[in-house]
Structure 1
């Protein structure tokens, strides 16, 4: 069943409804033809699903140079004014110039990194025997677009029993406005509804509900409970031939050896 009042403290932004808990019956049945990707891997021990926090890539690398050029307009105008008029520009222009320059550079770097820095996939592994979930998470910090430590991949490990799924919808800045639907996973303090962490799981509520149902079926019953997919798994690291430059330049998925072994094996 879908819960119509928030179970968690606090619910996710744009909360719409909660999905069944990890050990409850799925709310729907996965239907492979409408799912964007088959599982990356499935066997008797673990299920790996593809995941991406950035849905559309390949546009930012073209917008970023435009932002860099735009940031140069005001400084160039100030220099031209000084050369032509032989005196300093008005105070307003003198204050506006550095603001426009810094903002343009900041936006350009941020847009570029958001397009190129995320890995080619941000997979999530469900280990049925360990009852653990391993998340390949990409972190970013918009306030520090030049930082190396604030951007990058970290591996997070959670207990399956402490995960909760939420369907969310918010309006984003898409011209006249656009509805963005997602399913997020929250990590709760054991035995409570208190959220201690939360991360993106899937784009679009319908797909997110089906992927969550796949995780539930696998963890509860095993791989035999999953539907058959007509397409083979996608090799996310083998995308060097794509015309999408952002994906070609993006880092490949590389699990740390110790976590990779643990997430793929039984105790």
Structure 2
């Protein structure tokens, strides 16, 4: 049975992907094309949340349910001069609070997450720039816990892992995480999400090929890159209100240029 090289492995670890200096293996042109590629840097799209727009609807349903329950309790107390026994009343109030938190977290998650969370691989600097969105789903009303903080990592300190987690009554949730290791070791000091499904594993292998051999080593896609910031969101409320990607100016310049 294979074991992870990393200490510790990610939750649901299934296998390690090639390391930065390993052979990338077979590359395929599937998934969204890279946002950008040239001799200096390669940028891939990276999204924390799938099926955006559904969370807004689910959140509104939760908020509506909590409002209905609160309205019923208010009506019973004011119009009927009746309030349920303490145990039932406290349960109802706790249910309202939980529904508000779930609803608020779902709505905020959908509209606060940037339209894209790109990752840039700068071949000449051997650096990786990650547009990271941080959030605390259980605390939707604390703005200090919901923010974008781009990070910079050394390419040689990154490792990728495929994970698979079983979600009861639903299916297996699979994807790829990227681990940041202490230089010269396999000790993990940080991790961030790379993507859902099989596409990010192919992206990772493409990143290795690019960092080793340049853009000519990448497969050709039959369609142009997606314009995440400027595409028509249609009736999708999440995409309509979500913030655009805006790199810090200095990091934007550094990530796109040679040393």
TM-score normalized by the length of structure 1:
0.92
How far does residue 103 in structure 1 lie from its aligned partner after superposition?
Answer: 0.9
Aligned to 2:178: 185
Aligned to 1:58: 53
From 66, 73, 89, the counterpart of 2:68: 73
**Coordinate RMSD, CA, aligned:** 1.5
> How far 1:129 sits from its partner (Å)?
0.7
Q: Which segment drifts farther, 133-142 or 86-95?
A: 86-95
Counterpart selection for 2:192 from 187, 199, 203:
199
Q: Tell me which residue corresponds to 1:15.
A: 13
Query: Partners of 2:65 and 2:39 in 1: how far apart?
Result: 54
Runs of 5+ unmatched residues, structure 2: none
Classify the secondary structure of the residue corresponding to 2:76: helix
Distance 1:87 1:249 in 2: 42
Note if contact 2:128-2:155 (Cα within 8 Å) is conserved in structure 1: yes
SS in 1 for 2:115: coil
Structure 2 match to 1:225: 217
Q: TM-score, normalised by structure 2?
A: 0.95
| Structure 2 residue 246 is the aligned partner of structure 1 residue 254 | yes
What number of residue pairs does the alignment pair up? 259
Instruction: Quickly say closer, same or farther: Cα 1:241–1:105, change in 2 above 3 A.
Output: closer
CA distance in structure 2 between the partners assigned to 1:177 and 1:88 by the alignment: 39
Moved more, 83-92 or 95-104: 83-92
Please state how far the C-alpha of 1:4 moved relative to its aligned partner: 2.2
* Structure 1 segments of 4+ aligned residues over 4 angstroms from their partners: none
Q: Secondary structure of the residue that 1:47 maps to in structure 2? A: strand
Secondary structure in 2 matching 1:233: coil
* Unaligned ranges ≥5, structure 1: none
The answer for the alignment partner of 2:22 in structure 1 is: 24
Q: 1:134 aligns with which of 120, 129, 135?
A: 129
